[in-house]
Structure 1
Amino acid sequence: MYKLKFNYTSISFLPILVFIPLGYELINNLHFGGLNLFQEFLVSALNPKIDNEIIIKVINRLNETILIGFFSWLVSIIFGIIFGILSSNIFYKIFNIPIVFYGVIKSILTILRSIHEVVWGLLLMQIYGINFSIGIIAICIPYIAVNSKVIAEQLETIDYKTIESINQIHGPKLSSLLTLIWNPIIITFKNFGLYRLECSIRSTVMLGLFGIGGIGTSIFLSFQTLNFRELWSYLWSLAILIIISREIFKKIKFNKPNKNLSIFIIAVFFTTILFTFSYSLYFIFNNNFEDLNSLLKSSSYLEFFYFLKLILDTIILSLLSTGIAISLPPIVIGIFNNNSSKILIRFFAFFLRLIPTPVILLILLTFNNPSLSLAALTLGLHNAGITSKLLFTNLESQDKSHYVAMRSLGISKKTSWLFGLFSQQAKSYLAYCAYRSDIIIRETAIVGVIGSVGLGWQLQESLSSFAWQEVTTVLIAYSSIAIVGELINGKIKNGLT
């Protein structure tokens, strides 16, 4: 009997089938009432508003965005390192601490990162009101958990024999721990930590759409007033900020040990811990907890079958969006496989990443009715812009000998690209998409709030009516879906790596 083998190339293209049911519903809901608005939005990209007033607004809003994003990133990195150490095996093996604490900490961190920062933001805004601190706290909660997971995974690659040797010679445990973890943490920070600063800025923009402040708030207000020229002024300035920050990150090197740099890092580390602890106490004891207490006293319930429908809608939304994010980049790049088309694809993908998901959805709503398919298309396109960037980067760094050999044999350019280039990347590409699907599950809340679908929409409705029992139920369901999805995707990633 022939053994069935997975063809990773075929699997990468197979999810495109989600466009069949998705396209059918989108065509049925299509209307052209807002087509003129959509055209005006596109034309305004080439003619943004530029005057002294808008420049001052842009600078002020960017300063707010950078401030919230930077402090969120700094706090989440430092506490991510602390909890990463506490949630790794190496800490418990060196200090001989019962492993039960390891499981408790990992479980708590898993729950915290299963809920998107926008959800945390909406919840905290409803309890405490809108202020500068809410944005930082909302971003830090899931980011600390995500960073700690990455740090813990790197620390657990340390050879166990080294730890046994330290225990046998009764070496200083704290200094031994710091010596073992220093290099993995620096490498992780270089490869992952700087990228998280860009993510933090993007999350700040996203929270700004819901009123936290920064350039996201200006983008949303400009869209509400249909002032597309002003909207594009903010979007272009955000694009410039991201490009400049990315170039700065590329220049930062951590290859050579530097004593002064190490002292500076340690000083920043402990200063941030002390500042965060003192500010947390101030924040807690200077806010009204009446709304928080009412969360535990409310006794309203969601209808059971309606709630099951919301859960099913959220799962379907995740699957459809993931299917688009996986299959669209290789299909588009494979079909339009020439230099000029690649430039256009890169340009379009960049703006899919740049424009916040709620804004994309609001734009599409100008000529389509709210639906699950429209929300899935929005989330899928945004994440396709992200997966396409990774695919382009990997394809460019790949050995092209197979592709050249196939072309020299007279095989067509598209076929040579498929079997000579992409087929070698398909496995790693799917592994990344499995990781990306974890994020997509959490992002369903964003499009749900705007697009009137799934648990995200119910969360917004429950928060608006102060139905705290419903809010708690939605959060538990939302977190459960994300955790189950993460476990499934973890198995898939392990099978692909």
Structure 2
Amino acid sequence: MSCIRGIIKPQRRRDWRFGRVFAIVLGAVGWSLYAAGVFRGDLVNAGGWGLVGQFLAAATRPEVGAEFLLLTCDAALKTLAFAAVGTFFSLIVGLVGGIFCSEVWWESVLGVGFGVPWLVVRGLLAIPRAIHELIWGLFFINIFGLNPLVAVLAIAIPFGAITAKVFAEILDETPRQPMLALLSSGVPPLSAFLYGLIPLAFPNWLAYAFYRFECSIRAAAVLGIIGAGGLGYQIYLSLQSLRYEEMWTLLFALVVLSGCTDLWSGLLRLRIGAPSRLDLNVLQVKSVQGGNSDRVLSGDRAIQFSLFAVAALLLFSFWYVQADFSKLWMPRTGELLLGVVEDAFPPDFSQLGQLFILCSQTLAMSILAIAFAGCGGIIFSFLAANNLLLAGGILAAGRNHNRWWGIGILVLSRFFLLFTRAIPAPIWALIFLFVLFPGILPGAIALGVHNLGILGRLMAEVTENLDDRPSKSLTALGASGAQVFLYGVLPATMPKFIAYILYRWETCIRATVIVGLVGAGGLGRVLTEQISSFDYPSVVATLLCFICLTFAVDMVSAALRRSLFSS
């Protein structure tokens, strides 16, 4: 009896925590809807429906003239090149920063414990991670002008800090037994670290590197909106001039580029045994089993071909971008940076009250966006999973099943998720501003649609990697498809789904800046205006508020994950 009580009490505590968190979430969503003005005033601009009709009709007749197709090809190659070069530098930053951010480095190699030095390194990398690449791009435009170097640095700096954090977590979660065996044999700590830990972490590093490359393509498209060039720039010009046929051609090119990268990444991850782009083991990144490192480092031809293709792509990208890296160490660059720093301090907090209001709007926008993206992502993730509705899948096993019906739903769902995540959130915001008045609601919907595509694909991979034995047992016992789904699939997937939603919320708060650029409200709008008018003291004050808000969301997200998933 005491054993039963020991089992029931933790379960009751867990159920109570879920109920409490659910109530908090509902309250936050309700407050966000109120802040967005959903319960008061007119939100819809009825005069914009005609433009929406023209925009949708243009999808059936995209511009296919030879001259414009050449322009589209050049823009796509430029976006790809920006993403490749930016990812290259972000991985260098991530590799170095990840090692110095990891607990295992300080404990096992330096033998000093992860105290103040570890906190200092993590703190230094947390600041660039909190600032969106668009803000970095606007800042570097003021320093370098419309130079390709702007897009490269704007991707490399924040993505490098993000990669360092993930690489450090992968290192800390990698099994340490081989390294400890080397240490006990008298091998120096640094050699034991390099030969006993790095090879085991490398497959997951490689998998995440390709995921980061996918993100870089989307970032390169966003940076085009501020004049960096590429598909984003051309899409923005076409939309501003209402040339919808040209815009659809560019959008299809962006979807094809993202789709090819997605396919390449998926095939490579399958070969190295890392089936998920970002594997969250509820609270932590789960490392690939060490046995797969041999395939990566020594023999698989498909992996070797991919690495060769990456090298060729990098050489082409550096040549195609033609970024003038000498500007980084030119005296004039140092003078401009020093001038910006002198102009920016002390920060101007005279509008602090207004900044607090904008912080609340930004927070409301992110909550609405992630709530929409989370609910939509869960629904479409099941439709896009290849082990549910297809013949032989979990929900089709042992039942009369139309094979083509399952294939059709799978293809349409995957295309929908690809399309929504390939199109940058500012473009979605501009489209929704056709029929919605400016404010945080169109920004929230735009971010929600974009993140729905990202979450839906990540969640689909969770479902595809499920252990199907419980579902098969339920089917063998005569359970219906609905019962198998409710008792065999949903409980196994929801913990990671919630972890992904909370993870994307941390990313979503940063992305509110990019929809603010096109008039969607929040801190992003005022920050864009301040940078454009060279009001650097106000920029610093706004950035400090934005960074504090980002850190607060990170802490709340981490606390929610601990509350939900701790025993």
- What secondary structure sits across from 1:257 in the alignment? helix
List per-residue Cα deviations over 1:436-495 (Å, max 9, x = no partner).
111011111112222342111110121122111110011111111112222222233345
- Taking structure 2 as the reference length, the TM-score comes to 0.76
Q: C-alpha separation between the residues in 2 aligned to 1:107 and 1:35? A: 47
* CA spacing shift, 1:167–1:410, aligned 2, 3 Å: closer
* CA spacing shift, 1:163–1:247, aligned 2, 3 Å: closer
Q: In the alignment, what sits opposite 1:94?
A: 109
Amino acid at match of 2:187: G
Amino acid at match of 1:257: L
* CA spacing shift, 1:102–1:279, aligned 2, 3 Å: farther
Out of 72, 75, 78, the position equivalent to 1:64 is: 78
* CA spacing shift, 1:170–1:302, aligned 2, 3 Å: farther
Any conservation in 1 of the 2:383–2:409 contact (CA below 8 Å)? Answer: no
Q: C-alpha separation between the residues in 2 aligned to 1:356 and 1:326? A: 18
* CA spacing shift, 1:38–1:407, aligned 2, 3 Å: farther
Out of 15, 30, 34, the position equivalent to 1:6 is: 15
Q: C-alpha separation between the residues in 2 aligned to 1:73 and 1:13? A: 40
Is residue 181 of structure 1 aligned with residue 193 of structure 2? Answer: no
Q: In the alignment, what sits opposite 1:32?
A: 46
Aligned ranges for residues 48-127 of structure 1 at < 5 Å?
A: 48-92=62-106, 93-96=108-111, 99-127=115-143
- What secondary structure sits across from 2:234 in the alignment? helix
Greater displacement, 342-351 / 422-431: 342-351
Identical amino acids, percent of aligned pairs: 25
Greater displacement, 228-237 / 250-259: 250-259
Any conservation in 2 of the 1:9–1:422 contact (CA below 8 Å)? Answer: no
Amino acid at match of 1:393: E
- Structure 1 residue 7: Cα displacement: 8.4
Greater displacement, 114-123 / 161-170: 161-170
- Structure 1 residue 332: Cα displacement: 6.6
Greater displacement, 115-124 / 6-15: 6-15
Aligned ranges for residues 73-472 of structure 1 at < 5 Å?
A: 73-92=87-106, 93-96=108-111, 99-158=115-174, 170-252=186-268, 253=271, 255-258=295-298, 279=325, 282-287=328-333, 288-289=335-336, 291-297=339-345, 300-330=348-378, 339=406, 343-399=411-467, 417-472=485-540
- Taking structure 1 as the reference length, the TM-score comes to 0.86
* CA spacing shift, 1:157–1:348, aligned 2, 3 Å: closer
List per-residue Cα deviations over 1:317-360 (Å, max 9, x = no partner).
22221211222333577899984556544433322212111111
List per-residue Cα deviations over 1:30-86 (Å, max 9, x = no partner).
122121111111122221100110111011111211111101111111221111111
Aligned residues: 489
* CA spacing shift, 1:452–1:96, aligned 2, 3 Å: same
Any conservation in 2 of the 1:198–1:242 contact (CA below 8 Å)? Answer: yes
Q: C-alpha separation between the residues in 2 aligned to 1:209 and 1:166? A: 52
List per-residue Cα deviations over 1:176-205 (Å, max 9, x = no partner).
221123223321223211111111111100
- Structure 1 residue 314: Cα displacement: 1.4
- What secondary structure sits across from 2:173 in the alignment? coil
- Structure 1 residue 381: Cα displacement: 1.9
* CA spacing shift, 1:25–1:369, aligned 2, 3 Å: farther
* CA spacing shift, 1:26–1:51, aligned 2, 3 Å: farther
List per-residue Cα deviations over 1:105-141 (Å, max 9, x = no partner).
1111111111111111112223332210011111111
Greater displacement, 104-113 / 18-27: 18-27
* CA spacing shift, 1:490–1:301, aligned 2, 3 Å: closer
- Structure 1 residue 305: Cα displacement: 1.5
Q: C-alpha separation between the residues in 2 aligned to 1:129 and 1:115? A: 20
Q: C-alpha separation between the residues in 1 aligned to 2:542 and 2:252? A: 36
* CA spacing shift, 1:66–1:40, aligned 2, 3 Å: same
- Structure 1 residue 315: Cα displacement: 1.5
- Structure 1 residue 372: Cα displacement: 1.7
* CA spacing shift, 1:171–1:243, aligned 2, 3 Å: same
- Structure 1 residue 216: Cα displacement: 0.9
* CA spacing shift, 1:175–1:400, aligned 2, 3 Å: closer
* Backbone CA RMSD of aligned residues: 3.6
